[in-house]
A and B are shown apart, each in its own frame.
Chain A
Amino acid sequence: MASSVTARASGGKPPQALLLLRRCDAAFHSALQQRFHVLDFFASGEPLPAFLAAAPEPPRAAVVMGGGVVRVDTAFLDAVPSLRCVVGTGAGVDHIDLDECARRGVAVANSGRVFSADAADHAVGALIAVLRRLSAAERFVRRGLWPLQGDYNLGSKLGGKRVGIIGLGNIGSLIAKRLEAFGCVINYNSRRPKESVSYNYFPNVHDLASESDVLVVACALNKETRHIVNKDVLAALGKDGIVVNIGRGANIDEAELVKALKEGTIAGAALDVFENEPKVPAELLSMDNVILSPHIAVFTSESRSDLRDHTIANLEAFFSGKPLLTPVFPNKVSHIAGKSNQ
């Protein structure tokens, strides 16, 4: 519930009430409590509706985590009608109904570029690990097989590989820049072609897959991008193809992906996200040609600290009547270029 630490807001005004709907480390908690009157859901132990109903003063802002714990939808917004601002602490805002927020004049912010470099670094590291069999070679050594079995299997070179990036936003662009340094050729699909880049644009993901050796999912999850990598796309990618997913599990048809890996329809995958986290399809656990990680693409101590600063900056902007630093608006244009959904 409300913190016992006295909050000191700027300008001598009483601290503003802030709904906190995410687990935080001590440093983040402390930083928020120093500036706001924090109404801490996870500390309350109450079910969400009771907690929202019992808020002692109507909060105008909320900090919300993704991952299925809290959905900012009609019911939620009805329960806290005082909310004028929702700050997500991830790049993804698929747990927030952007249209509903826009309809009610509730401003939404995300984490902007705080995590972009880390996500890109993880995607590239995981791709190298698949192509060069890094983790599999590690297992070989740790099991004591090197003296027994001699040389390990050959991996595959990065240079010259055609990498198809689905979603050339902040993260996708940073992935492209890194992989160019390895000599990869960059292809991409995005809602619209980007004039500022010289990479090859493909208007749909099937064609992108046909012309690529690697597919990297770095797009948001929304209606258009659910299962954007499906059976057809995997077949087009082909038997030497690799899929890397640092978007959302639901960007890929997981059942089809598992099948494609089992049948050799594609060569390998690096997956940081899954359709039902923390459940990972059992078939993947015994495969040597996949790299599996527990949704850590953005997990560095540096970006945690950056996230804290960024979240507070967005909240302070809102409470002082200034524009959010990293506002998010509803999609007006369909992901598939040439098709409008309004």
Chain B
Amino acid sequence: MALGEPPSLIIICPGASFAAALRQRFHVLDFFSSGQSPEAFLAAAAAAVPGPPRAAVVWAGGPFRVDAAFLDAVPSLRCVISTAAGVDHIDLHECARRGVVVANSGNVYSTDVADHAVGMLVDVLRRVSAAERFVRHGLWPVQGGYPLGSKLGGKRVGIIGLGNIGSLIAKRLQAFGCVIYYNSRTSKDSVSYKYFPNVLDLASESDVLIVACTLNKETRHIVNKQVLEALGKDGVVINVGRGANVDEVDLVHALQEGKIAGAGLDVFQNEPKVPAQLLAMDNVVLTPHVAAQTSESRSDLCDHTIRNLEAFFAGKPLLTPVLP
């Protein structure tokens, strides 16, 4: 590649403005505007002139899995960047084996996800969206009083995963007077919240469970039937992790049978499908995977991705590397 030519990179990410911003600095091979099949696109990228791409920006929500086959198809890749905090679409071990460095979105979305989780909890406990439906259906003049909600202050909130997002949720809920408990892979010396070594014990001592952990082998269905029973009939579950962190079938049963009191769900096991039974419930809040979606964080993501790419192409360490 001639000196001064912008480096090549693959992007597999919907959103024209994102591609446009990257085009100002790099030579972009854009899957979503190529019109090609995934296989054809990767083959073409590997054969690209003046030089095949050394970096790829890969959307977490799409059809591509960055696995051995992907890396075989584009052997020039030395760096893969996820557009999310989650990297469950990337085989970290395979990348490490090949010396391919991986970065994620770091904290770009963390506050927005934390804000959404808190918003959903207030919504469930205080019936904000259910009250909205009541008013919009014209029921206020007809039915008069509305059912009481439940106070936030004093509730014991058990956070599963005290990473960036979990910590921000904790800080916000403390301002409401909640008591914070958590479960994480290891306890964190820097916080004064009470640590529980397993989620079952956490659930037994909590009024609310908030899933804010990554999805991996250990955390798949980390909230299951036993955990829901331990949480109990006044308990509320909030999920801003991944749908598969919760056993969705068990959750629906628990809600139908009154084994827990309510739930706030931004993620589901088979998005965009939402279990039909939930659509009829007033004690759940359902959102279409938008916890990270603000115009500000979209713009922050763009800046952050560019900074990671510039670091990589300048031979410097990534800002937000992810290791297996």
> Which of A's residues lie within 8 Å of B, judged by CB?
117-118, 121-122, 124-126, 128-129, 132-135, 137-138, 140-142, 144, 146-147, 150-152, 154-159, 177-178, 180-183, 277-280, 285, 291-294, 296, 299-304
Cβ contacts under 8 Å, B141 to chain A: 278-279
Sample of 14 more A-B contacts, CB < 8 Å, known A138-B286, A158-B111, A299-B147 = A121-B153, A129-B119, A135-B129, A138-B285, A151-B290, A152-B290, A155-B293, A156-B296, A157-B294, A183-B111, A278-B141, A292-B132, A292-B135, A300-B150
A147 to B272, CA, bound (A): 5
- B193: chain A residues at CB < 8 Å are none
Residue contacts A-B, CB under 8 angstroms, 16 given: A117-B177, A121-B122, A125-B128, A135-B128, A147-B272, A157-B115, A157-B296, A159-B111, A182-B118, A183-B111, A291-B128, A292-B136, A296-B127, A296-B146, A300-B149, A303-B151
Residues of A within 8 A of B126 (CB): 118, 121-122, 125, 296, 299-300
Known: A129-B119, A154-B295, A154-B298. A141 touches B288 (CB 8 A): yes
Interface residues of B in 130-174 (CB under 8 A from A): 131-132, 134-136, 138, 140-141, 144, 146-154, 171-172, 174
- Whether A152 and B135, one on each chain, are in contact in the complex, defined by CB atoms closer than 8 angstroms, is no
A277 / chain B contacts, CB cutoff of 8 Å: 140
**With an 8 A cutoff between CB atoms, is B30 at the interface?**
no
Closest-CB distance, B295 to chain A (whole angstroms): 5
A126 lies within 8 A of B128 (CB): yes
Partner of B286, one of A128, A142, A300: A142
Judge whether B248 is part of the interface by a CB distance below 8 angstroms. no
Nearest CB on A from B63, distance (A): 14
Contact A294 B150 (CB under 8 A): no
Does B146 contact A124, Cβ atoms closer than 8 Å?
no
A117-B151 CB under 8 A given contacts A128-B118, A135-B128:
yes
State A102–B150 Cα separation when bound (angstroms): 37
A291–B132 touching, CB < 8 Å? yes
The answer to whether the Cβ of B320 comes within 8 Å of any Cβ in the partner chain is no
Across the interface, which residues of B come within 8 angstroms of A134, CB to CB? Answer: 116, 119-120, 123, 128-129, 285, 287
On whether the beta carbons of A125 and B293 are closer than 8 Å, the reply is no
Closest B-chain residue to A133, C-beta based? B290
Chain B residues with CB under 8 Å of A121's CB are 122, 126, 151-153, 176
Contacts of A178 in B (CB 8 A): 172, 175-176
Measured CB to CB, the closest approach of chain B to A243, in angstroms, equals 16
| Contact between B123 and A125, CB atoms less than 8 A apart | yes
Please judge, given known A-B contacts A141-B287, A155-B294, whether A294 and B128 are in contact too, CB under 8 Å. Answer: no
Cα distance, A291 to B119, chains bound together (Å): 13
Docked-complex contact A301 and B150, CB < 8 angstroms: yes
